[in-house]
Structure 1
Amino acid sequence: MPVHSNKALTVLGLGDMGSALTRSWLAAGYAVTVWNRSPRRAPAGAAVAATAATAVAANTLVVVCLLDDAAVRATLDGIDLTGRDIVNLTTSTPAEARALSEWITARGGRFLDGGIMAVPSMIGVADSGAYVFYSGATELHEANAEALAVPAGVNYVGADPGFAALYDIALLSAMWGMFAGAAHAFALIGKEDISPMAFAPLMVAYQQAMAGYAYGTAAQLARGDYAEGVESNLAMMVTTNGTLLRTAAEQGVSAELLTPFMALMERRVAEGGGKESTTGVVDLLRR
Structure 2
Amino acid sequence: MARPPKRAPPPSGSKPTFDAHIGTLKALGAAAYLGADAGLASLHDLALLSGMYGLFAGFFHATALVDSEGIHAREFLQLLGPWMTAMMGELPGYAEKIDSGGHGLNVVSNLAMQATSLENILTATREQGVATSLLAPLLDLFRKRDSAGHGDEDISGVFELIRRRSGAGT
Cα shift at 1:210: 0.5
The one of 105, 130, 134 aligned to 1:257: 134
2:152 is aligned, of 269, 275, 282, to 275
What's 2:108 paired with?
A: 231
Task: Verify the 8 A CA contact 2:119 2:139 in the aligned structure 1.
Answer: no
Given the alignment of the two structures, is residue 143 of structure 1 paired with residue 20 of structure 2, yes or no? Answer: yes
Name stretches of at least 5 consecutive residues in structure 1 with no aligned partner: 1-16, 18-117, 123-128
Secondary structure in 2 matching 1:134: coil
- Amino acid in the other structure paired with 1:194: I
Shift of 1:243: 1.0
User: When you count helix as a share of all residues, which structure comes out higher?
Assistant: 2
Give yes or no for the alignment of 1:242 onto 2:119.
yes
- Cα offsets for 1:59-94 (capped at 9, x unmatched): xxxxxxxxxxxxxxxxxxxxxxxxxxxxxxxxxxxx
Q: Secondary structure at the match of 1:279?
A: helix
RMSD: 1.8
Structure 2 partner of 1:178: 55
Match in the other structure for 2:96: 219
Report the counterpart of residue 39 of structure 2 in structure 1.
Answer: 162
Deviation at 1:201, TM superposition (A): 1.8
Whether the 8 Å CA contact 1:230–1:276 is kept in 2: the answer is yes
Identity %: 37
For 2:11 and 2:24, the matched residues in 1 are separated by 13
Number of corresponding residues: 164
Q: TM-score, normalised by structure 1?
A: 0.54
**1:207 counterpart residue number:** 84
TM-score w.r.t. length of structure 2: 0.88
Shift in Å at residue 260 of structure 1? 0.6
Distance change in 2, residues 1:192/1:227 (3 Å)? same
Query: What's the secondary structure of 2:45's corresponding residue?
Result: helix
- Higher mean C-alpha displacement, 163-172 vs 144-153: 144-153
User: Is this contact kept in 2: 1:268–1:280, CA < 8 A?
Assistant: yes
Asked if 1 retains the 8 angstrom alpha-carbon contact of 2:11 and 2:30, the reply is no
The answer for unaligned runs of 5 or more in structure 2 is 166-170
Give the secondary-structure state (helix, strand or coil) at the position aligned to 2:31. strand
Distance 1:191 1:221, change over 3 A: closer
Which structure has more relative contact order (CA 8 Å, sep 6+)? It is 2
Give 1 or 2 for the bigger CA radius of gyration.
Answer: 1
Structure 1 counterpart of 2:143: 266
- Mapped partners of 2:161, 2:9: distance in 1: 30
Deviation per CA, 1:222-271: give whole Å up to 9, x if none: 22211110010001111112211111011100110001111001000000
Q: Could you say which structure has the higher strand fraction?
A: 1
